[in-house]
Amino acid sequence: MNGHGRSGGRPTLEEVAARAGVGRGTVSRVINGSSKVSEQTKAAVEAAVTELGYVPNRAARALAANRNDAIALVIPEPEARFFAEPYFSEVVRGVGAALAETDIQLVLTLAGSDRERRRLAHYLSGHRVDGVLLVSVHAGDPLPELLVELGIPTVISGRRSAAETLPCVDSDNLEGAAEAVRHLLDRGRRTIATITGPLDVYGARCRLDGYRQALAAAGRPVDERLVAVADFTEEGGRRAMRELLERSPALDAVFASSDVMAAGARLELRAAGRRIPHDVALVGFDDSVVARHMDPPLTSVRQPIEEMGRTMARMLLERVSGGRGSATGTGGGPSVVLQNRLVVRESS
């Protein structure tokens, strides 16, 4: 095509500038949509860009501007759970939607094992992303602190405690659980058990509190033998259900803190010869695909997960770009709580 120098290579800013008959700075301004450029020059530059098929070199941009145009979605779970739990797919979708309009890349990071966690920490300390979305954080997790130390803007989903310092998006777990229990009471159930998530997850604890409060509000005593702690897995739900049946054979309803655990519970109930909902009513949490496909279809508390993902991403973007001007950094910020909704199906 052309003689010397570059030839095969992709066009650079400088070449676009030459073509448009302007300076490098001007092209950069046009590309970044910023400040004052006359309509005329702008048009000329844009023409040159299309003619040459110019695409900015991301590495150069990152180096010069000291940013990465990338954020990480960190999911501290093993791969298996990531795919098994539809929760994550919705988060990813929401985050993706919020990012679609921007030129920001999403880096998905699973870190289930300790080894992977270390790799991740190393990766993050390389400052290769401008911000981090942290999903499903357990209580003792050192990751959030690390991020604060590194000064990387972070938004987490699900506060770690009542006094969360990081900006955070949550659903109203307590009220959602309470609604589920009220629904069971309304249906005339008398002995309502619950299967909780791991209690070092704040959200799981809130759901348990919702269960307790709803019972208390209805003037029912809370029998601790009706509470079984599990771990959000199907197998855990199964084990918990077995325990519950042993301890309180007379139960006639179960509120599980996740659909997947409800699926486990269902298997165990069926094995024990209990019919759903005739003998035992079952309610889950998440309203995931699992819920709709269960037999019978599962009543479940629907979290606006996708919206949560979208909100998180938007909050993070604001901090990332806001942080450049103001000195906001990682500092504590607003928290958003979204409402849940009970979806009633045949299992209750």
Partner DNA sequence: ACACAGTGTGGGAGCGCTCCCACAGTAGTC
Partner DNA sequence: GACTACTGTGGGAGCGCTCCCACACTGTGT
Residues that bind DNA (CB under 7 A): 6, 9-10, 12-14, 21-26, 28-29, 31-32, 35-38, 40-42, 54, 56-57, 60-61, 63-66
Determine how many CB atoms are found less than 10 A away from the CB of residue 104: 21
Select from DNA, its own copies, none the partner in contact with residue 190, using the beta carbon and a kind-dependent cut-off of 5 to 8 Å: none
Query: Does 51 engage in binding with its own copies (CB under 8 A)?
Result: no
Q: In terms of C-beta density within 10 A (0-12 exposed, 13-18 middle, 19 or more buried), how is residue 32 classed? A: exposed
Query: Does 79 engage in binding with its own copies (CB under 8 A)?
Result: yes
Query: Does 107 engage in binding with its own copies (CB under 8 A)?
Result: yes
Rounded Cα–Cα distance for residues 223 and 92 (Å): 38
> What are the strands of the beta sheet with 335-338, ordered from one edge?
105-110, 70-75, 131-135, 154-157, 168-171, 335-338
Site for its own copies in 249-288 (CB under 8 A): none
Among left, alpha and beta (phi > 0; psi -120 to 50; other), residue 188 is: left
Query: Does 92 engage in binding with its own copies (CB under 8 A)?
Result: yes
Query: Does 341 engage in binding with its own copies (CB under 8 A)?
Result: no
Binding mask 291-330 for its own copies (x = CB under 8 A): ----x-----------------------------------
Select from DNA, its own copies, none the partner in contact with residue 29, using the beta carbon and a kind-dependent cut-off of 5 to 8 Å: DNA
Select from DNA, its own copies, none the partner in contact with residue 138, using the beta carbon and a kind-dependent cut-off of 5 to 8 Å: none
| Of the residues 15, 42, 93, 272, which one makes contact with its own copies according to CB under 8 A | 93
Count of chain residues binding its own copies (CB under 8 A) = 33
Select from DNA, its own copies, none the partner in contact with residue 31, using the beta carbon and a kind-dependent cut-off of 5 to 8 Å: DNA
Tell me if 133 sits within 8 A of 316, measured CB to CB: yes
Tell me which amino acid residue 95 is.
V
Direct distance between the N- and C-terminal alpha carbons of the chain, in angstroms, rounded to an integer: 72
Which residue, among 15, 156, 175, has the nearest Cα to 72 in the 3D structure?
156
Count the alpha carbons within 13 Å of 88 in the hemisphere toward its beta carbon.
21
Tell me which amino acid residue 148 is.
V
CB 329 to DNA: min, Å: 17
- Which residue has 């990766």 as its token pair? 123
**DSSP character at residue 297:** P
CA 82 distance to own-chain centroid: 11
Select from its own copies, DNA, none the partner in contact with residue 295, using the beta carbon and a kind-dependent cut-off of 5 to 8 Å: its own copies
Query: Does 122 engage in binding with its own copies (CB under 8 A)?
Result: yes
Select from DNA, its own copies, none the partner in contact with residue 326, using the beta carbon and a kind-dependent cut-off of 5 to 8 Å: none
Rounded Cα–Cα distance for residues 208 and 211 (Å): 5
Select from DNA, its own copies, none the partner in contact with residue 92, using the beta carbon and a kind-dependent cut-off of 5 to 8 Å: its own copies
Rounded Cα–Cα distance for residues 288 and 93 (Å): 14
194 DSSP β-pair partners: 227, 255
Query: Does 108 engage in binding with its own copies (CB under 8 A)?
Result: yes
Rounded Cα–Cα distance for residues 45 and 47 (Å): 5
Query: Does 128 engage in binding with its own copies (CB under 8 A)?
Result: yes
CB 63 to its own copies: min, Å: 4
CB 294 to its own copies: min, Å: 11
Tell me if 305 sits within 8 A of 87, measured CB to CB: yes
Query: Does 68 engage in binding with its own copies (CB under 8 A)?
Result: yes
Query: Does 218 engage in binding with its own copies (CB under 8 A)?
Result: no
**By the criterion CB under 8 A, which residues form the site for its own copies?**
10, 53, 55-60, 62-63, 68, 79, 82-84, 86, 89, 92-93, 96, 100, 105, 107-108, 110, 119, 122, 125-128, 289, 295
